[in-house]
Every structure is written in structure tokens, then in C-alpha cells.
Amino acid sequence: MSMQDSVGAYDTVEFADNPEARCSIVLILDASGSMGGQKIDTVNQALVKFRDIIQEDPVTSLRADVAIVAFDHEPRVALDFTNGTDFQPPVLGINGGTNYSKAINLALDMVEARKQSYRDGGIAYYRSLAYFLTDGYPQHDTPGDLAQTAARLAEMEDSRGIAFFSFGISQEGFPADLTELAKLAPDHRPPVELTNMEQLDGSIQWLSRSVAAVSQSQPGENIRLPEPDYLDF
């Protein structure tokens, strides 16, 4: 069980019960007003399936640490890092506009704090995974904020501290703004456009299978993630 003193602060006593190597996964999920209806319902249902896939394998459940940041014009920690054995997804609601940089920076702060807890506890760990999902334009970001966030992401990518995967949801008449997402994503991993709810659901299930693939390896190994079959829907 994760022993959290406060957001981003962890009691290393938890590692006495579970000394397995850890993979930290943070889902950064748009919960602005435009995500209402089918989109947020699909996200909430997909998170339940994500939990089920994580927990069906005993090794993956012990090694996965999951956090969720929900964002509109401000970010919030919907779930601080929790071991897969105890992970229960929150039900996300919607509100407000869209700000990318605050949400991403909060998530990166959490990842860095979680890795420090691994080091403090003598726990081996894998490269972190970040899943970023939005359907909107970052109207509450400044160009400077986005540029600084992109630079921070690039530095963490280059040091293999994190692998950042970004997704934009499009619907008829409301295309995702992949231009802004592309400024944040690494060149070798551009943002992916999702055009229906099946693809949205499938992308989160792909993430859970990726977590399982990472967890079955040894820290430091090169890992081939599952093929992104969610675009076949």
C-alpha cells in the first residue's frame, strides 16, 4: 500500500512490504467542459479496464505505481501515486477551460518526487510513462509557459527519465489541435489523433498493456511496447 504523507511526499516504509522494482505511470487527463458527455464517460470506463488489466497479473500489479492528474484551466491530483495492488480509479467530472503546462508540470513534479522516494527506499525503477489526453486548445497557457514545459519534457526524455505519449481527441466539427501538442511531444513520438470513442478507450488499454510489458522486464533493459492497435477501430 502507498503511504503518502502529502501529495508528492512518501513514507518509504511501504517498500518493506513490497520491495519490487517500480514503474511510475501518470495519466494527465483533460477534464475541461468540452470533454463532457461521451468523452469523459469513455475515459472513466477505460480507467476501470486499465485497473483490471494491471491487477490481473500479480507482477504487474506489484510493480506499477499509478497517478492521475485531471486538468481544466487548473490541474488537480485526482489520484496520487498508488501501487497497482491498491489502485482504484477516481470518477472524473468536467469543468472550465484548458491549460496544458500547469498539468504537465504538476505531473512531472510528482514523477520526480516518486523517483526520489524509490532512491531513498533503495528500490530499483523503470523509465516513467506519461499519458497525456486532451480535446482542446490550451487557451489558458502563455507561449512562454508552453515553451518552458516543452523544454522540461525534452530534457526528461533525453535523460530517459520519462516517455511522454500524447493524444488528441477529434470529433466531427471539433478537430484536436495537434499543432500545439506537437510542440510538446518528442519528434520521434508525435501526438496521435483519436477520432472515435473506441480509439480513445483502446489507447488507455494499450497503455495498460505497455505497463505490463515494462513490468515483465528488468530495469535498464530495452523494451518493445505493444503495437498501437487502437487506431484500427
Encode pLDDT of 155-206 as tens digits. Answer: 999 999 999 999 999 987 788 889 999 999 999 999 999 999 999 999 999 9
pLDDT at 7 over 80: no
Share the mean pLDDT of the chain.
92
SS3 at position 214: helix
Question: Which DSSP symbol is given to 172?
Answer: T
pLDDT at position 9, please?
A: 57
Q: Which pLDDT tens digit goes with each residue over 105-163?
A: 999 999 999 999 999 999 999 999 999 999 988 999 999 999 999 999 999 999 999 99
CATH of domain 44-220: 3.40.50.410
Confidence of residue 97 (pLDDT cuts 50, 70, 90): very high
The DSSP line for 84-151 is TTT--PPPP---S---HHHHHHHHHHHHHHHHHHHHHHT--BPPEEEEEEESS--TT--HHHHHHHHH
Confidence of residue 223 (pLDDT cuts 50, 70, 90): confident
| Cβ contact 217:129 at 8 Å | no
List the chain domain ranges.
44-220
> 41: how many CB neighbours lie within 10 A of its CB?
14
- The set of residues, in sequence order, having a beta carbon less than 8 Å from that of 205 and lying 6+ positions away, is 46, 49, 50, 53, 230
